[in-house]
Structure 1
Amino acid sequence: MASSSVAVAAALILVSHAYGCYAKHHAFPAVANSSWLDAKATWYGAPHGAGPDDNGGACGFKNVNLPPFSSMTSCGNQPLFKDGKGCGSCYQIRCLKSDHPACSGVPKTVIITDMNYYPVSRYHFDLSGTAFGAMAKDGRNDELRHAGMINMQFKRVPCHYPGLTVTFHVEDGSNPFYMAILVEYEDGDGDVKQLDIMESRPGAVSGGKMAPTGQWVPMKESWGSIWRMDAHHPMQGPFSLRVTNESGKTLVAEQVIPIDWKPNKTYSSHVQFH
């Protein structure tokens, strides 16, 4: 039985390293913890990389190898990824000497940027090579990565993006009848429970300039942290966006997307969760 378990674990590690995170749904309760919980950790991609070869992932975030993500990223299984609602949430992770002799026990923070539904354990972090190695003692990163799979501990923590505001990326393919928006860099919960949009129209009060309609329309979750609006009319900017996080807090970015918006362009707001 023991040798069979080892063989199964080894097979999962090999598949994870070959293909990265894999989508298969398993129902587990969501996590909202403030104390340390037990989990399994694996890693994928390059030893010093951010996980996916394209530095992206199932949440839709781009360039996760660069600041502020800085390759400290992870796939999460269902209680962590939450079918995309967990995208952007932050966790402290650590492994102890009892888990592996190379473990430092020093907590490191990772961000959920991808999905992983391998039935390895109740909670499973498939980390980037960088994040997995960061749990090691100085100079023993490769030794820890060589383990492939280890026991670890984790807890949910607030996200912090010093100097950054909530940012919106208009995805490729967006047009006046279809808008897809990626939400990034939310302090606090880090994730998005709902995104609403408000169009503009010519306003007499503002001398014929475009003014908000005052009507919020809920967008639909497309995938990951990307939300979409399928309209039956040409949508008119500037657009205001209202973000609701997992705790139910809301934030309004007024007319953050201008009238002359373009696909594949990022628009930074002047607001941030506190």
Structure 2
Amino acid sequence: MELFLNYKSSMFLFMMMFLLVLGYTQDYIWSRATYYGSPDCRGNPTGACGYGDYGRTVNDGYVAGVHRPYRNGTGCGGCYQVRCKTGGGECSNEGVVVVATDFGVGDWTDFLFPARAYAKMARPGYEAKLLAYGVVNIEYKRVPCTFRGSNKLIYSVHQRTKYPHYLAVIIIYPPGIYDVVGAQIWQEDCKAWRPMRKPYGAVWDMENPPRGDLRIRFLLSASGNVNDATWVESSSVISAYWQAGVTYELTVSI
């Protein structure tokens, strides 16, 4: 009887530990991170997302090149909380919240930081010790961005656009934890939505777009899957004589 009770107690403790671990790993993903040097300790002025100089200064320069979270550019603009795990007491409990602005991979890493963002994971006074590691184990999760309002979708006409034959827009700021997985422009003469192409990063484009003011809508998904996504239409139209650099905001409530 005593052996049976001990067995039941052991199984109960095992199941409790399993559930705790399961709940923990559902929140955070384990990986590795490293960093690169730059003259001002900020991000790359080019980058695979297509942000240009914006990708260096957004979120006060706390940005990252990402590997798995990049997802062929769908992850561009997403915010991630990243906490390091060294075992030496260098890491803070809060870590750093960064914006994915580029594709980047180092030594089996998912996050490639500028040195400034990498050091932000450290406790005050331990930045140099953390930088000395070069590569560290981390845990990370997607979090809503807060620096522009968590329910905003912000997009702008991309610098490579060529009026009137080629229109490109770039998703600067996805709302909450939603990804933009589709974009369409309304063609009035056909009474139909025309799909936009995703050539790279956070850019959506269209050859020979309709003339006149343009209505645009975006397909948003919390999982990155088009099968559980929702269309939201921008309340602002893109002017008939659109110009590169013009920015639009869309308040999202889904």
Q: Structure 1 residue aligned with 2:218, among 226, 240, 243?
A: 243
Q: Does 1:148 align with 2:134?
A: yes
Partner of 2:92: 104
Q: What is the letter of the counterpart of residue 183 of structure 1?
A: I
- Counterparts of 2:162 and 2:253, CA distance in 1: 27
Which residue of structure 2 aligns with residue 158 of structure 1? 144
Could you list the runs of 5+ residues in structure 1 that have no partner in the other structure?
Answer: 1-32, 202-212
**1:74 alignment partner, one of 48, 64, 67:** 64
Residues 47 and 136 of structure 1, relative CA distance in 2, 3 Å threshold = farther
1:271 maps to 2:246: no
Instruction: Specify the SS of the correspondent of 1:75.
Output: strand
Amino acid of the residue matched to residue 116 of structure 2?
Answer: T
Residue number among 85, 92, 97 corresponding to 2:74 in the alignment: 85
| Residues 71, 131 of structure 1: 8 Å contact kept | yes
Residue 138 of structure 1: how far off its partner (Å) = 0.7
CA distance in 1, matches of 2:123, 2:145: 24
Alpha-carbon shift at residue 272 of structure 1 (Å): 3.1
Gaps of 5+ in 2: 1-24, 223-228
Q: CA RMSD in A?
A: 2.4
Mapped to 1, the partners of 2:204 and 2:130 lie a distance apart of: 38
Q: Secondary structure at the match of 1:254?
A: coil
After TM superposition, list the pairs within 5 Å mapping 1:1-274 onto structure 2: 34-46=26-38, 49-52=41-44, 54=45, 56-62=46-52, 63-67=54-58, 69-77=59-67, 79-98=68-87, 100-118=88-106, 120-121=107-108, 124-163=110-149, 165-171=152-158, 172-199=160-187, 214-231=191-208, 235-247=210-222, 248-262=229-243, 264-273=244-253
Contact 1:169–1:182 under 8 Å retained in 2: yes
Distance 2:182 2:37 in 1: 31
2:41 aligns to what SS in structure 1? Answer: coil
Match of 1:66, SS? helix
Q: Is the Cα contact below 8 Å between 1:176 and 1:235 reproduced in 2?
A: no
Q: Which of the two has higher C-alpha Rg?
A: 2
Distance 1:128 1:220, change over 3 A: same
Distance in 1, matches of 2:49 and 2:169, equals 12
CA deviation profile, 1:183-213 (whole Å, cap 9, x unmatched): 1212222532111112456xxxxxxxxxxx7
Instruction: Give the whole-Å Cα distance in 1 for the aligned partners of 2:64 and 2:148.
Output: 21
CA distance in 1, matches of 2:39, 2:31: 21
Structure 2 residue identity aligned to 1:258 = S
CA offsets 1:29-80 (integer angstroms, 9 cap, x no match): xxxx74222111101232763321x2x421112423334x221111111x21
Alpha-carbon contact 2:85-2:91 (below 8 Å) kept? yes
Shift of the alpha carbon at 1:217? 0.9
Q: Percent identity?
A: 27
Deviations 1:213-236 (A, max 9, x none): 7421110101100011023xx631
